[in-house]
Structure 1
Amino acid sequence: MTYAGVFSFVQSLFITNVEAQDVVYHNSQTIPLLAASISPDPDADKGGPEVSFDETGMFIVAETGLFSLLPGEYVSATGKEENVYIVRPGDTLSHIAELFNVKSETIRWRNDLGAKEYIRAGQDLKIPPADGVYHKIKKGDTLGGIAKAYKAETSAIKTFNGVVDASGLQVGKEIFIPGGKSSVAVKTQTSSSSQKSTYVKVLSSVPSQISSDKLGEWMWPVNGGVVTQGYGSTSFANRSGYYKGNNHGGVDIGAPRGTAIVAAKDGVVTMSQWYYGYGNLVEIKHDDGTITRYGHNTSNSVKKGQRVVQGQVIAKLGSTGRVTGPHVHFEIRDANGKQMEDNVFYQTYLNY
C-alpha cells in the first residue's frame, strides 16, 4: 500500500454518519496546508484571567476584557441579584445593556445618568436584575399604589420581592418594580455656564507606613493602605515574569476599593486616562521636575492640565488594568521620565 493509500485509509476511520457527497477527500499531494495560529496577545500563554478577592470579600477579575463584576446590594426573592459592572475601555451603554439583557434606560435610571451623559472606563455601574426601577418605601405606601405609580403589575412586585401585602414593606428599604417606568424623566446635563464650581478635597495628613520625618517633602499617596510589593527585583516579579527584566518599577499599596489617592506633591496633571496595563492612570509633573504616577484607579478625579496641591484627592483606588487585586501602583520618575531610584519610597521597599 502506498503512503497516499495509508493516508486515505486512516482518514476513513474518522468519517462516520455523513453522506458521501458531503466529504472532500485529499491525498498527500492535494491536502491543504495548515496556517500557523497568530495570537495578538503576547501574554496569551500565561493562562486565564487572575481572580482574587479584596479585603471586603468582593470578587475581582483582572484583564478579562469581558466582565468585571462585584455583588450589588439587591437580591430578589426569585434569586436574581443586582450586579455592579466595572466599565471597560470601548464599552458602550447599549452593549452593556445587551450583555445583561436589559434596556439602556434601565441602567440610566438606576445610575442617575443624564440623557447625554457618557460612561467612562473604570466607572461602576449598578445593573438591575431585570428591566424596571427601584422604589424606596415610604410610610403609607401600598403595593397597589406603588404598582399604579410605576405602571407595573402588583403580582409581579409581590413575586419579585417576596411580599404578600403592605405588611411586608419596610420603610426606607428599596424594592424592585419589574417592568416599572420611572416617574421622573432621566435628567439632562445643565450647560457649563450654570454648573457649580468643582469641589476639591485636600487631606492635610494620611496614615502612612513611612514616618513623616523620613518622607520629607513627600506625602504618602494613599489614605492609609499597606505595601504589597516594593520596587526592584521582588519575589513576585521574579516568579511571575510580568515585568521587563523581572524588575517591578514602582511601589504597590493595597487598600479597599474607593480609598482616596492623593497627590504626593504640588504639580500639574500631565495625564489622566486609561493607559495600557496601568488601567486608569494619573500622572503629575511636580514643580521640581519630578514626575509621579498613580495607576489602577477605579476612577480619576482630575483632568490633564489641572493644577493640584499636595494632599489633594486625585483618584479612587481600584483594580483596573493588569492587576491581581485592588491597589495603587505608585511611581516616581525624573524630569526625563526615567525611574528615579533615589527616593524614600523605593529605598524603603527595595526588592520587597
Structure 2
Amino acid sequence: MRYALDCKDDFASNLLFWIERFIYGKINSLSNHQVKNKDEILKVLSRFRNGFDSMESLQCACKECRNIGLIGINTYILPLSKLYEYLIQIGLESLKDIDEELLKEFLTIHTSALSDATKKNYRMALINFFSFVDKQNEDMLGTSYNFRIELKNWGGLRGKSGQKLPSFMNEEEVHRFLNGIESYPFKHQELGARNRLILKIIIYTGIRVGEALNLKLKDIMQDGEFFMIQVRGKGNKPRVVMVKAKNIAQDLALWRNVRENMVVNDDMLFCNHKGTKLTQAYISRIVEQVLIANGIRKEKNGAHMLRHSFATLLYQKSQDLVLVQEALGHASLDTSRIYMHFDKQKLKDTTEIMES
C-alpha cells in the first residue's frame, strides 16, 4: 500500500511514520535463523502494524527485535533516529524540504567522531530510507515525489589511511584482566560462574560476543585436555575453536549446576535469571566493569575488544595470518591483515635500516 508523502498532520509525525514503515520492511528482510520464539516476533510485528506515537517507542521495539534474534536492525534505526532528532530541531514543515545538502550537513555534524565503517553505515541507511520513500509515496493523482538521494560526493570518509586501529590489551593486561575476572564481585554471585565463563570463552578463543551468546549446550564438548566448541559464525557458517579445559572447566561445571535449577526457554548455554537470552550490551557492561576495577583503560571497553586482544596475541605469537583468519572466522584474509599492524618485532626491525 502506498501513502501520500505528507500523510500526517505535522512534520514530526510524517517523518516518524515513514521511518517506522521503512524499519518494518527491513525487519521482514533480516535473517531470522537466530529467532527462537515466534510468538515474541509476532508481538513486535503487531506493534509495527499499529504504528508508534514517538521515536522512543519505536527504538524500544527495535531493541526488542534485536533481543529476539533479528540481528542487524541497529544498522538502520540508529542513523535514522539521529536524523529524526536533527530534522525536528531544524523545524521543517514538509518532508519535501529535505534535500541532499541537508543530509550531507547532518552526516558532517553527527558522524565526525565515528569510524569510516560506521559512516558508511549511516550513508547507506539514509540512501536506503529515501529510496524506500521514493517507491512507496503516491498522491491522489497517482504521482510520486522522488528525493533521488545519492550522497556520492559526501567527503566525510577518510579512506583507508585514516581508519582507526582496533583497541586491544597487551599480554600483561590480558593476564591482569583474567585475574580480575576471578576476583570481581559480581552482583549476583550465583551467576558469577556464568559471567566468568562467557568472558573466558571469548578471550581464550576470540569468538564474537554474539557467537558466544548463541552457543547451545551440545556445542561444547570435552576432548581430553581441551574443550571443543562448535561456533555458528556470520552467515550461519560453522567452525570449531578449542580452549584448554583447565581454563574453563570449573566455571562451566558451576554454571551448568546453576542452570539445571532454572526454567530455560531453550537449550542455550547462557541465559539470564529469567531463562532468556543475554544481550551483547550486558556482556560489554561486565567487560567495562572488570577493566575499570583492574585499572585497564582502553579507547573502547566493549566486549568486542576481547576478540581483538585474542587476535593480536595470536598473530604476535604465531606469525600466521591464515591461522588468525581461521580462528576468527573471517571470510577474507584481508580482514585479518589489520592485526599485522601490532607486530612490534617487525616494527623494531624497521629501526635498524639506517644503522651502519
Which TM-score band (shorter chain)?
under 0.3
- The TM-score normalised by the length of structure 1 is 0.26
Bigger helix fraction: 2
Which structure's CA Rg is the greater one? 1
Q: Please identify which structure carries the higher strand content.
A: 1
